[in-house]
Structure 1
Amino acid sequence: MVAASAHPFAQLDPARVVAAVESLGFWVADEPFALNSYENRVFSLRDESGRRWVVKCYRPGRWSDEQIQEEHAFLWELDQADVPACAPWRNEQGRSLHHYEGYRVALFPHVAGQAPELENPAHLFALGELIGRLHSVSEQGRFVSRRMLDLDAMVAESRERVLHCPWLTQRQRRVYERLTESLCQALTPYTWSPAASIRVHGDCHLGNMLGRDETFTLVDFDDAVMAPAVQDLWMLLTAQHEDDLRMQLSEILEGYEQWREFDRSELELIEPLRTLRLLRHSAWLVARWEDPAFPRAFPWVIEESFWDQQLRNLEQQRLALQSPPRWLA
């Protein structure tokens, strides 16, 4: 068992990962390879048949068993509808969430491929189709245990966490407090009812979409929530020039609407959702700092220059929220 005083992942070494997988009836053919993941711990390995698997060890205290199982049930629902979304392995009893020496473990088939190219119209259309297929299934049910994306509550939570961290100078703290108060006011008009939310992937960035030849699979539904559909689309809109931006949006929505109609009024939520992600990311780094992996991976977080850049980014977001929505042009 993991010592109570140790970090939750302190004793999660390769031998324990292998033992956890072999407790499920597999024989592991090689040493687990740690993948680039910080919130949870994720490893790649092969079994005795040469099949490649991804082992996810969930961060203790983040999600309840019920919330993880609800995510897994959603993935199997998508699998039954032939939506490429990488459902977890289940044992003969139908269980996909397993416990081993204090860790919660799930096993996923390895997905090969590369991230899509967001300047490629064919890739954008294919991604729109994929997310449209996802949402055509997800709108048929609702999460009960997993959280609702609540703009006001999440912004306030992130703001308080950063304001109480030790790394901002007095000047930076004053500016951050002023800027985030202004952002909170600017975000007030952007609300939606629970009825306008559907089950979404929640973190549709390039690292969570893998494939080849315009065929992609969504992976890592760890951030699945109830939210407006646009939450799964806006991170694909990366172009800096207006013509390129319109091309991206047009291709994505054309693909999406092969499967489900998209409410264009949700486009006005893009900058608010971008603001939320920016605030939550810095708050996440602060919240996870006691995890030894974070100081190693993000050593610049304690530097004054990092927080100066965060303040500049927030000021840009404040201006973006005050400008007419370019997405509706």
Structure 2
Amino acid sequence: MIWESLTLESAMQAVEDACQQRLTNVCIPRNSYINRVYEMELDSQDRVIAKFYRPNRWSTDMILGEHFFLKHAHDNDLPVIPPLTFNDKTLFMLDEIPFALFPKKGGRVMDEFNEDLWKETGRLLGRLHNLGQTITDSGRMKWRPKIATTRHLKTLCDCGVIPEDYRAVSIRAIEQFIQKADSLFSRCEMFLIHGDCHYGNIIYRPGEHVYLVDFDDVVIGPSVQDVWMLLPDETGQCKQELAWFQEGYSVFRDFSARELDLIPALRIMRQIHFAAWCAVQSQEAHFQHHFPDWGSTKYWNEWVKSILGF
């Protein structure tokens, strides 16, 4: 069990050792399917978020790269939440489990944007992408089918979760998708981006800013990857939202409308990525409770049909 050494008691002791401060008895588990996250309270009554990274999912260099991106963004006045530093370190270990501490910042998760928020998000992502373009040694994966989707296909095959009746057609469908879609990505600029920019990773603090959180999955990819999951409908039905977004984004950098053509491929990539993620997570306790339909005949049938439809 990868989380065997992580208990509330060991988590609190590890945090006290890292920050060299006493904690109160407050230790509240927070929702996270991949990592383990707790809200804790220092003796000073300041609240911190302790984030224990899933072992073996990210290398130490990758996590430190995430922290560097966050710190660099914060130093440039972008509304992000960088990890706390203790004794010149942002990354600590509990046995084989890496963890970091973040200041708690409350906020409201958004499920839709108005005009002002679309423009503000455009400005935020424009500035973030300018910064990402300057970081050339992140060690992060390139988000294009030939690299990312090939890796996800290997995960699916290695985990052996695809039913025998669907195995051959699934592999063939994914390989055909990679062959058809990858060349589309050769036409666009690739640089360090958030990579998982959806409403669950954006919090709104009234009187402040829209904050972008959860930089676990930063990748080297096209700018549109940080946009399409925010759209409420198909691209053709979102002309107004895209116009507001581009108005904000173009204050800091140009947005190529041609990249919108990547959205169908990016959607299929995410479906394959999600299946690979579930293949790994399915060994965890309570997985089936959270994803009761995953792995059913209906799921695989619709999944393959969607990939073949590209």
1:289 aligned to which of 255, 263, 282: 282
Q: Is 1:124 equivalent to 2:121 in the alignment? A: no
1:256 aligned to which of 249, 261, 264: 249
Query: Bigger shift: 143-152 or 106-115?
Result: 143-152
Equivalence map 1:44-123=2 (5 Å): 44-91=39-86, 93-123=87-117
Q: Is 1:36 equivalent to 2:39 in the alignment? A: no
Give the distance between the partners of 2:131 and 2:95, measured in 1 at CA.
36
Q: Are the equivalent residues in 1 in contact too, given 2:118–2:244 (CA < 8 A)? A: yes
> For structure 1, which runs of at least 5 residues remain unmatched after alignment?
1-6, 319-329
> Which residue of structure 2 aligns with residue 10 of structure 1?
4
Taking only the aligned residue pairs, the percentage that are identical comes to: 29
Corresponding pairs, count: 308
Query: Bigger shift: 24-33 or 66-75?
Result: 24-33
Q: CA deviation at 1:247?
A: 1.1
Q: CA deviation at 1:21?
A: 1.0
Give the distance between the partners of 1:174 and 1:252, measured in 2 at CA.
41
Query: Bigger shift: 137-146 or 57-66?
Result: 137-146
Q: Which amino acid aligns with 1:273?
A: L
Q: Are the equivalent residues in 1 in contact too, given 2:268–2:306 (CA < 8 A)? A: no
Q: Which amino acid aligns with 1:263?
A: S
Residues 1:305 and 1:49: Cα distance change in structure 2 (over 3 Å): same
Q: Are the equivalent residues in 2 in contact too, given 1:132–1:260 (CA < 8 A)? A: yes
> Which residue of structure 2 aligns with residue 302 of structure 1?
295
Equivalence map 1:138-287=2 (5 Å): 138-163=132-157, 166-192=160-186, 196-213=189-206, 215-240=209-234, 242-243=236-237, 245-287=238-280
Query: Bigger shift: 197-206 or 22-31?
Result: 22-31
Query: Bigger shift: 109-118 or 306-315?
Result: 306-315
Q: Are the equivalent residues in 2 in contact too, given 1:142–1:226 (CA < 8 A)? A: no
- Report the TM-score when normalising by structure 1: 0.85
In angstroms, what is the RMSD of aligned CA positions?
2.3
Give the distance between the partners of 1:178 and 1:94, measured in 2 at CA.
49
Q: CA deviation at 1:179?
A: 3.0
- 3-state secondary structure, aligned to 2:294: helix
